[in-house]
Amino acid sequence: MMKLSERIVGLDGLREDGVLRWALPRVAAISVLVGLYFAFIFAETEATMGDVQRIFYFHVASAWVAFLAFFVVFVTSIAYLRTRNWQWDSIACSAAEIGTVFTTIALISGSIWAKKAWGAYWTWDPRLTTTLILWLIYISYLVLRRMVETPQQRAAFSSVLGIIGFVDVPIVFLSIRLWRTIHPVLISQEGMDMTGRMGAAMGVAVIAFTLVFATLVVIRVSLERRRVELDAVKAHLGLY
């Protein structure tokens, strides 16, 4: 039976900073309001699609946060396998949950945009298909964490899947260049396919969503810390 002191190694690193917990949500909230202003007022209306195009800013920002979250899962999963420090597993778990949520937002917002642009909510375009696969991979990651009760096995198995699953992220990103696709290309050799105001709105949206992601990670890791402490108590009592 593992000693309680051994199970909580690394938990001190999960203790939230009071200033960070107070300031970050407020900064994120302000940035979201600024992002809404840029998306709905500052950026001009797109000539072909009209106001429906404005969902593009949230779609791109959501996809960016999903990629960022899964990169965090990738890095922290490697760190856990190298150190067996529970801090890394807690961050990986938190980032995976948040990344899955933002992937869902990206898929839904993209489908709304696609209905207007292509006349259908869904096509098996390479970008859409690989994104759906990415979503399924991390849904599987979350299901795996629910299925495995033993904390050490859960963390190890999840870390392996988190590392392997990240392979699909660059595939999603490069899909519009690797295969023929109808998905728009924002950045090409000719530059960005948007006006300056649209580019500014997209940049602000990306920053705002990134701050929201950071806020959610801080909150979710705090909750995960309490779960890990509960697991430590259960292990100490011989319940695992």
More confident residue, 72 or 177: 72
Per-residue pLDDT tens over the stretch 96-114: 999 999 999 999 999 988 8
Mean pLDDT (the chain) is 85
Q: Where are the domains of the chain?
A: 20-236
Output the CA–CA distances (angstroms, integers) from residue 28 to 160, 163, 203, 212, in the order listed. Answer: 32, 29, 15, 5
Give the residue-averaged pLDDT of 12-37: 78
Contacts of 28 (CB under 8 A, 6+ apart): 208, 211, 212, 214, 215
Q: How buried is 104 (Cβ within 10 angstroms: 0-12 exposed, 13-18 middle, 19+ buried)?
A: middle
- pTM score, whole prediction: 0.85
Contacts of 79 (CB under 8 A, 6+ apart): 85, 88
- The region of weakest confidence among 18-22, 66-70, 200-204, 210-214 is 18-22
CATH number of 20-236: 1.20.120
- 240: pLDDT strictly greater than 90: no
Which pLDDT score is estimated for 238?
67
